[in-house]
Structure 1
Amino acid sequence: MNARKASESRTVMTDIVLPPDTNTHGTIFGGRVMAYVDRIASIAAMRHCRRPVVTASSDSLDFLAPIRVGDAICIEAFVTWTHKTSMEVFVKIEAEDLLTGKRRLTSTSYLTFVALDENGKPTLVPEVIPETEEEKWHYAKAKERYEMRKKRRAELLNRTL
């Protein structure tokens, strides 16, 4: 299986935030942002492995700044690292003032996806090749994030109520 460049999975999505997308403060619903994040990350993962995928985990999604009605929500995702059957995807969310063009970072997140074969079972994925400084930065820390997720999952599975 040939490794693939991170850039081959890069996916960009832009949408305008309208009143039905917002809460009583005129800012986008957090759940709406979460849905965008899962959707774009799954596209990036499928572009990388060219297989169906399922979301295995989502790291924290910290809302750093609001996205207001009339702003564009700009979301970018790419595969940062792979294990045997799983892929880590980084997602960056920005708000753009469409009248000035000014952008501001509003959220970031890492998600993990598992590739599935024809029988719905986990299947091997290609390794990722980071090229840009940004891609290399995410790649360098990915194994550490993987180990933290593995530990968190084991603790949850072994927890007794």
Structure 2
Amino acid sequence: SGSNLNLVVIGGGSAEEIEQLQAYGKKNGVVVMALSGLSSEAMRSVLRNSVAVVGLAHGEAFGLTPIEAMALGTPPIFVNEGGYRETVVDGTNGRLVKRGDFASWKVALDQAQEQETRAVWAEAGLARIEELGLTPERHAQRLVDKLRPLL
């Protein structure tokens, strides 16, 4: 509330959950849009033009969604749990925030709107992707290495 931001939910959630989220958003002055069935190009466009990619999933085994955000230069802001801690380094390439700490979530969203912070996080995010060996080139090479013995 009071952030002047909209929320875009991409995929996931039942119709009932989306309706509840939209009603809660309306009550708090936040527009909630639910998008599904997006092409890869459309999804990249939405993510690239977002203030941040935010995630609160429970029990996430590996933080791939933050990697997708970082690859596009969009700040990742994720709950400080599970696999998100494998890819996001708090305050370096995005934010890891305690679930339910609403003041800290607001601070993180404010930081994500600062151009200097966005630039620093974007550069650090690309470095993290490289460090973890998750670049498209490295993925392609691993695939070739796996397939070559089968030929």
Q: Which of the pair is proportionally richer in helix? A: 2
Larger relative contact order (Cα-Cα within 8 Å, sequence gap ≥ 6): 1
TM, length-normalised to structure 1: 0.28
TM, length-normalised to structure 2: 0.29
